[in-house]
Structures are given as C-alpha cells and as structure tokens.
Chain A
C-alpha cells in the first residue's frame, strides 16, 4: 500500500459524459501527478500540481482539467468523453516540487467509456 488513495476504483460511462476522478496523496506529500495508461499508448504523464498550483503539463487534452485543493487532494475532470479515453488513470504523489524524489502511485481508476 503506497498511501495514495484513488476513487472510484472503476467507472463506466457513456460517450459525451463528464467524470471526476479523485486522488488523496500520501500524508505530507505536496506534489500530485496524474497519468493515463492505455493499451496502445503506455503510461503518459498528464499534469503535476504542487501545493495547489499547476507545476508541469504533459500530454493532457483540453477536454481534461485538474486541480489540487487546499487539503492537497486532487481531482481530474474529464469531459466530452470519447471511446479513446478509456484507460487506467493513475495518481502519484511525492514530497518534492521537482519530481526529483520517488513518486508513489495510487491503485488507479479504470475508466471505461461505452
């Protein structure tokens, strides 16, 4: 158990819908990272937040957005969902601003878009 929690575990929804994935980092970690893992794309970095502020952006679509709240939990919002958005979404946390230290991954949320 990494100490990072993600909810829900599974999510099935229809195209065009909007979903919110939630992540609680390890106690004391200020950095939260979001990743998407699909069969054809592998693990892709989406976005990083540090202490409530956006720190780095990867391959995140405009339909996706994220935020980190004052209690340090983070939410990833996915809207206008498409079939290709079906994937495993991981959240990771670390105690470093610069992702220089080990990132601890949560168990992931499996999103299925029908």
Chain B
C-alpha cells in the first residue's frame, strides 16, 4: 500500500531557529514528491522534486530528495512567525497519477 509518513507531527521553535521536516514514502512507480505549506486555508505549493540529490531552494526554504532511501527533507532557516503552518508532503505515482499526502507537520514559530 502506498503511504507517506511525515515527522515530527508537530514542533515549536523560536524565531531564528532552523528546522528540518522529514518525509518518508513507499510508493509504487514513483513520479515526484511535492511539498506544500498550509496555513489557515488552502495548501500552497513549495517544491516539486523528481531527482535525487538535487537541492531546490526558495529563499530560506530548501528541500532535497533521496530516491534510494525514499525520503525527503524540507529545511527552513532563520524561521519567522510567518512560517507557522502545516507542511504537507505528497508523492505522485505514475499508476493512475494519484497523489498521496502525508498527515503533515505542524510548525509553530514563537516570537
């Protein structure tokens, strides 16, 4: 059965800290891994990863995929209160182009 597991489930940090969010997956016919940020409303796209070892970066956020060990990490440096959100990891497979989401990591950044 395809599944995506994220850890930790939640964490609380102080502004300026660096955090690492983990996503491990088991999926047949892997196509891509995606990271989303969900605040109060709809998820917003962060990254799509398809190749191992290539870091994607956007400002203070970065992510990398390891297709051999079947995991990805999302790093946030110099966290700000605006980073407080649920971060969702999702994996797409080629069999029916389904998207499987993890339960998310709830990040709370304290001022």
Contacts and interface: CB of A to CB of B under 8 A. Distances in A.
Interface of A: 2, 33, 42-45, 48, 55-58, 90, 98-108
B96 A56 contact: yes
Count class of interface residues, chain B: 20 to 34
Contacts, number: 48
B58 to A, nearest CB: 12
27 contacts: A2-B44, A33-B99, A42-B101, A42-B104, A45-B99, A45-B100, A45-B101, A48-B97, A56-B96, A56-B97, A56-B98, A57-B96, A58-B98, A58-B99, A90-B42, A90-B43, A98-B97, A99-B92, A101-B48, A102-B45, A102-B48, A103-B45, A104-B45, A105-B44, A106-B42, A108-B41, A108-B42
A108 B41 CA distance: 7
A21 to B, nearest CB: 14
B62 interface: no
A55 B98 CA distance: 10
A111 B90 CA distance: 24
A106 B88 CA distance: 16
Q: For the complex, would chain B's binding face be called helix, strand, loop or mixed by DSSP majority?
A: strand
Given A56-B97, A99-B92, A99-B97, A107 B42 contact: yes
B31 interface: yes
Interface string B88-111: 101010001111111110000000
Nearest to A97: B97
Interface string B20-44: 0000000000011000000001111
A113 B32 CA distance: 35
B47 to A, nearest CB: 10
A42 B42 contact: no
A109 B41 CA distance: 10
